[in-house]
């Protein structure tokens, strides 16, 4: 089967085995290993990517469904000049990264929350704009497990980024 989709801002086409997950497509077929396999059963969030701006567990997502969609992975956040995205910068600054295995998923899910803040009104089915206070951030990140950090610094990083443009 052939699928074509937008990957990190570029149009791509590839032939895939229809039974594989998006996580397998990324890691095994495309060599994009930044998205991490923590459980392969939808429980840990390490494999979080953005599909049309919404965070999704790539391990549960059938690769064929990506056809025609817009996919952003952790590899898509750094600019061509090598500048980190503001969420990544905040994670570094706050010391929110220890072993780092959960980090890609965390960053992508915080991106999703940021996007929700910016676009919630325009996206059908996603029109609840979540206030970026600490409680809501904690709730939002509930699906991303981290064994090292106790989450505190991750929440701090998210809080800083999400409240930056608050008026």
Partner 1 sequence: MAKKNLKIIGTPVPKHDAKIRVTGEAVYGHDIKLPGMLYGAILRTEHPHATFTIDVSAAKKLPGVICVITADDVDTNNISYKRDHPILKKEEVNCIRDEIAAVAAETKEIAEKALKLIKVKYKIKKGIYEPLDALKSGAPLINKFSSGKFEHKNIAEKFYYEHGNIEEQRKKSMVVVKRTFTLPRMTHACLGTSNITAHYNKTTGKLLLYSSTQVPFLYQRDMAHALKMNPSDIRIIQPVIGGGFGSKLDMYPFEPICALLSIKTGRPVQILYSRHEEFLASPTRQPMTIEIEAGADKDGNFTFRDVNVIKDNGAYTSWGATTPFVIMQAFSSLYTLPACRFSATAIYTNNVFAGSFRGYGNPQATFALERVIDLLADKLGMDKAQIRIKNANRPGETTGQGLFFETCGHQDCLQTVIKKAGKKRKSENNRYRRGMGYASMIHVGGGAKIYRSDGCGTTIKIDPYGYCTIISGSNEIGQGSETVLAMIAAEELGISLDKIKVINTDTDIKPWDVGVHASRTSFVAGNSLLGAIRILKEKLNLKAGELLQEKSTSFNYEDGFIKTKSKQIALDKVVREMHFTLPNELAIASYFYEPSSQFQDKGFKGNVSGTYAFASQAIEVEVDTYTGNVRVLTVHVAQDVGKVLNPLLLDGQIHGGVLQGVGYALTEELIFKEGYLLNPNFHNYKLLTAADTPDIHFYPVETHDKQGPYGAKGVGEAPLIPTAAAIANAVCDALQIEMLELPITPERVLVALKNKNNK
Which is nearer to ligand FES, 2 or 41 (by Cβ)? Answer: 41
Strand-pair category, 54-57 with 2-7: unpaired
Quick one: which segment of 12-20, 32-40, 116-124, 131-139 binds ligand FES (CB under 6 A)?
Answer: 32-40
Please report the beta strands in the chain, taking only residues with DSSP state E, as ranges in sequence order.
2-7, 10-15, 48-51, 54-57, 70-72
- 147 is an interface residue for ligand FES by CB under 6 A: yes
The structure tokens 């392969």 sit at 40
* Separation between Cα atoms, residue 144 and residue 134, nearest integer Å: 16
Given the DSSP bridges, would you call strands 2-7 and 48-51 parallel, antiparallel or unpaired? unpaired
92 interacts with, out of partner 1, ligand FES, none, CB within 5 to 8 A per kind:
partner 1
How many alpha carbons fall within 13 Å on the CB side of residue 106?
Answer: 30
Distance CA 59, CA 42 (A): 6
Q: Cα(91)–Cα(108) distance, rounded to whole angstroms?
A: 12
Is residue 38 close enough to count as binding partner 1 by CB under 8 A?
A: yes
Closest distance between ligand FES and the C-beta of residue 101, in Å?
5
Site pattern 41..70 for partner 1 (x: CB under 8 A): x-xx-x------------------------
- List the interface residues with partner 1, window 65-104 (CB under 8 A): 73-75, 77-78, 84, 88, 91-104
- Site for ligand FES contains 35 (CB under 6 A): no
Q: Which residues bind partner 1 (CB under 8 A)?
A: 27, 32-41, 43-44, 46, 73-75, 77-78, 84, 88, 91-104, 107, 137-139, 141-155
């Amino acid at each position: 089967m052939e699928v074509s989709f937008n990957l990190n801002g570029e149009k791509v086409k590839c032939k895939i085995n229809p039974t594989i997950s998006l996580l397998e497509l990324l890691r095994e077929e495309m060599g994009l290993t930044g998205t991490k396999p923590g459980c392969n059963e939808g429980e840990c969030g390490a494999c979080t990517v953005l599909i049309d701006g919404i965070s999704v567990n790539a391990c549960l997502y059938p690769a064929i469904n990506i056809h025609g969609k817009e996919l952003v992975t952790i590899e898509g956040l750094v600019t061509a000049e090598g500048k980190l995205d503001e969420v990544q910068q905040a994670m570094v600054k706050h010391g929110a990264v220890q072993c780092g295995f959960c980090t890609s998923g965390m960053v992508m899910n915080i991106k999703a929350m940021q996007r929700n803040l910016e676009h919630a009104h325009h996206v059908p089915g996603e029109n609840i704009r979540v206030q970026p206070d600490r409680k809501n951030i904690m709730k939002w990140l509930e699906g991303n497990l981290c064994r090292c950090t106790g989450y505190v610094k991750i929440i701090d990083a998210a809080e800083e980024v999400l409240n930056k443009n608050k008026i």
